Amino acid sequence: MKRVLYVLFVIIVALTASLAGAAAGGMAVYRAMENRESLPAPLQDVIPANDTNPGQTITLDTTDIETSITQSVQQVGPAVVTVVGTVPGQMTIFGMTGDQTVSGTGFFITNDGYIITNNHVVEGTEEVNIVLSDGTQQTATIIGTDLYSDIAVLKTDGRVPAVAVLGNSDMLDPGESVIAIGSPLGDFKNTVTVGVVSATGRSIDTGNGYSIENLIQTDAAINHGNSGGPLVNLAGEVIGVNTLVVRSTQAGDVAEGLGFAIPVNTAQAIAEQIIEQGYFARPYMGVSFQPINPAIAERYNLPANWGVYITQVEPGSPAAQTGLQENDIITKIGDVAIDETHSYINSLFEHQPGDTIPLTVMRAGKEMQLQITLGEAKH
């Protein structure tokens, strides 16, 4: 009898504890739900009011942002292609000569098969193929290129699955969300990365006597193989052509998230001229030159700290007709003095073929003025 009473007592205690636990658990869940209802809706970030508007809060619906990214990729993705080129006669690691395969990205800009990519993607190639987003491979022809803007135009006579919508890169502001689409390493086709416009109007020195100017800086991941691919806004419009990434400085500092794209307004203007006439015209003088900076000027005791030293004048060129001579130093083109931020090439490209402009020249230690009518170079 005592054993039976003891068992009943244990059961009653256990039931009481269970009911208390359930009540406590229910109260905890209720309180958690009550607290949750007082928080912002899921997937929403609330930015505190600022000093100028102390009573204002701004709500960003990240669901809408994610939807815009997805829709933009779906819109532009089918127009993106992988560009595969063959460069003949390259030295292999075994010391033998053989063909080399290079790759990049491009995108359709017209229904009749014209594609924008980077010049450096197809430079030196003998044969070019494109791979559509569905894996279909087609041959392509290089219509024309422009070294100084790093733009090239290809054409295929095959199927065009979609055409990218081009936006207005002049309207970009730092902080805008952007999407990079490309084929990093040539293998991961139509890879999507997301970032923001870090800055506009950037200039990158190529190390070849000129800079690529007015670039869009972005922290969207760009890798080898992304070159020539589109940089897209949340409206599904292409606003840039991805071209390069900076990973370190000459001092050895390592950088992350420093990608650059050519503004689509620039790319479109160059592409349209290439499509129309097969090349993009640049002004030229017809000289070979060596850039001068203060260190070089001091070493060779030159009369100018900045400029270009003329090493050769092409016979019959605008420079020859103007009277430019070897050993002359050009210090100013038009109204622009050549210096650390204004290279000879970029200063020259401020003008058009056929323009007549003044040149400031140092000859035998004396400054003189010349007038030159620029010729047309076909790149």
Task: Give me the catalytic one of 103, 150, 328, 343.
Answer: 150
Residue 202: other Cβ atoms inside 10 A: 17
Report d(CA 221, CA 180) in Å as an integer: 7
- One-letter amino acid for residue 234 of the chain: L
Report d(CA 208, CA 202) in Å as an integer: 17
CA angle 162, 167, 169 (to 5 degrees): 140
- One-letter amino acid for residue 119 of the chain: N
Are 196 and 218 in contact by the 8 Å Cβ rule? The answer is: yes
120 classed as catalytic: yes
The DSSP output letter for 51 is: S
Q: Given the DSSP bridges, would you call strands 237-245 and 165-166 parallel, antiparallel or unpaired?
A: parallel
Are 241 and 151 in contact by the 8 Å Cβ rule? The answer is: yes
Q: What are all long-range contacts of 359-366, with beta carbons under 8 Å and residues at least 24 apart?
A: 359/322, 359/324, 359/330, 359/332, 359/333, 360/330, 360/331, 360/332, 361/324, 361/328, 361/329, 361/330, 361/331, 362/303, 362/304, 362/307, 362/328, 362/329, 362/331, 363/325, 363/327, 363/328, 363/329, 365/303
Residue 126: other Cβ atoms inside 10 A: 10
Please name the residues in contact with 7: beta carbons below 8 A apart, sequence gap of 6 or more: none
227 classed as catalytic: yes
150 classed as catalytic: yes
Report d(CA 103, CA 183) in Å as an integer: 8
Give 129-166 as a DSSP string. EEE-TTS-EEEEEEEEEETTTTEEEEE-SS-----PEE
Task: Give me the catalytic one of 169, 227, 343, 347.
Answer: 227
Active site amino acids:
120, 150, 227
